[in-house]
Amino acid sequence: QAKAVGRNTLRFFDPEMQAVVTSRAALEAGLRRAVTSDEFLLYYQAQVDGQGHLTGCEALLRWQHPERGLVAPGEFIALAEDTGLILPLGRWVLDAACTQLAQWATRPEMAHLTVAVNVSVRQFHQADFVNQVLTVLDSTGTNPQRLKLELTESLLIGDVEDVIAKMSILKEKGVGFSLDDFGTGYSSLSYLKRLPLDQLKIDQGFVRNILIDPNDAAIARMVIALGDSLGLAVIAEGVEIEAQRDFLARLGCHACQGYLFCRPLPLDQFEAFVRRV
Ligand code: C2E
Ligand code: MG
Ligand code: MG
Ligand code: MG
């Protein structure tokens, strides 16, 4: 419960609320500092095909906080979105991922890998988003075919024509698109067929209990059938055990990502993983 004290001044009398606001403010201040002081890094998680071959990875953001240690995106992406800090942060991620791709291109054992980058709605809706991507591809000398952008269905709540137009330009350059967390949002199937997508990603929420919950299995089956009929690849995320992988493969989904293959790993460990497989 807050009481307005003059213009733009709010006093919080509920100590619990005060604590929430304070920690949010601390997090925001920390995030602001982190964006300019190099506290972010990318982890990489393998994506494999039906033969178990590594085809690429997803870049997952981590915050190396000076006091708190490694912080996962679940704790700060939403706030970064709210505050607009996602814009510089998202640029940093794109730049870091493409710099890594360009470096891997010089190494035979890494050169074939794609990197999937998560793009938040607010980031994608920037007027110059397409230019940002093209500029970073160009300045790093990255092959656009190696870059995959992961979008979410919430993008389709906005201006769909604009989304399609932006995707089409990047797609024409060779950039790939995956629809992340598919099945958890609100996408209308009529929009889905108009988007120049390459891949649907079955959300881990459906994979988790796929062996015991017939509803989750039915949804996975539907996503795979939809992918088949729209000519899209389907990848499952959150695959933790062999029985889940095998069940998905029987449904026709062969591409997988999850702890079964590898956890998200820091660069050196991911490169060591690639050399081992
Ligand atoms: P996401 O894109 O759906 O990423 C998958 C999440 O599932 C990752 O969590 C990953 O570590 C986790 N995961 C992978 N395999 C397994 C598994 O077998 N079991 C379980 N239980 N979890 C698994 P993470 O790294 O904490 O990222 C969470 C979310 O934060 C991501 O979900 C994505 O939406 C967002 N995110 C991560 N990096 C970025 C980024 O660079 N930019 C933006 N905008 N969002 C990001
Ligand atoms: Mg993702
Ligand atoms: Mg996902
Ligand atoms: Mg997910």
The interface predicted TM-score of the complex, written ipTM, equals: 0.98
Judge if the beta carbon of residue 178 lies within 6 A of ligand 1. no
**Residue 10 pLDDT class (50, 70, 90 cuts):** low
Beta-strand pair 54-65/69-71 = antiparallel
Instruction: Compute the distance from residue 203 Cα to the ligand 3 centre, in Å.
Output: 6
- Mean pLDDT highest for which of 153-157, 191-195, 250-254? 250-254
Q: Provide the pLDDT for residue 273.
A: 97
Q: Provide the pLDDT for residue 8.
A: 58
- Percent of the chain, pLDDT > 90? 80
Locus of tokens 């656009």: 144
Instruction: Compute the distance from residue 3 Cα to the ligand 2 centre, in Å.
Output: 40
Q: Is the pTM of this model over 0.80?
A: yes
**Ligand 1: which of 92, 118, 262 to mutate, most ligand atoms within 8 Å of CB?**
118
Q: Provide the pLDDT for residue 183.
A: 86
Q: Provide the pLDDT for residue 146.
A: 98
- Give the mean model confidence (pLDDT) for residues 246-273: 97
The answer on pLDDT for 23 being more than 90 is: no
Q: Report which protein residue has its CA nearest ligand 1's atom 20.
A: 238
Q: Provide the pLDDT for residue 150.
A: 98
The answer on pLDDT for 2 being more than 70 is: no
Q: Provide the pLDDT for residue 1.
A: 42
- Give the mean model confidence (pLDDT) for residues 240-258: 97
